[in-house]
Amino acid sequence: AGDAETGVTIMKMDEGLDTGPMIAKRAISITNDHTGGTLTTTLADLGAQLLIDTLPDWLLGKIEPQPQDNAQSTFAPRLDKQAGALDWSQPAAAIERKVRAFDPWPGTFTPGSKGPIKILNVAFAREVAAPPDSSSGTVFKQQRAVYVTTGDGVLQLITVQPAGKKAMPAEAWLNGQPELAGSQLGEWVA
Choosing from 29, 46, 72, the residue where a domain stops is 72
Split at pLDDT 50, 70, 90, the class of 113 is confident
How many independent structural domains does the chain possess?
Answer: 2
- CB-CB contact of 119 with 157 (8 Å): yes
Whether cis (ω within 30° of 0) applies to the bond prior to 162 is no
Are 55 and 112 part of one and the same domain?
no
Close Cβ partners of 120 (under 8 Å, ≥ 6 residues apart)? 99, 103, 107, 108, 158, 159, 160, 161, 167
Q: Percent helix, strand and coil across the chain, each rounded to 5?
A: 25, 25, 45
Are 160 and 98 part of one and the same domain?
yes
Q: How far apart are CA 144 and CA 146, in angstroms?
A: 7
- What rounded mean pLDDT belongs to the chain? 92
pTM: 0.88
Mean pLDDT of the 92-109 span:
97
pLDDT exceeds cutoff 80 at 72:
no
Range of the domain at 21: 5-72
Are 60 and 112 part of one and the same domain?
no
Does residue 185 form part of some domain?
no
Split at pLDDT 50, 70, 90, the class of 190 is very low
Mean pLDDT of the 138-160 span:
96
Check residue 114 and give its pLDDT: 81
Does residue 189 form part of some domain?
no
Split at pLDDT 50, 70, 90, the class of 187 is low
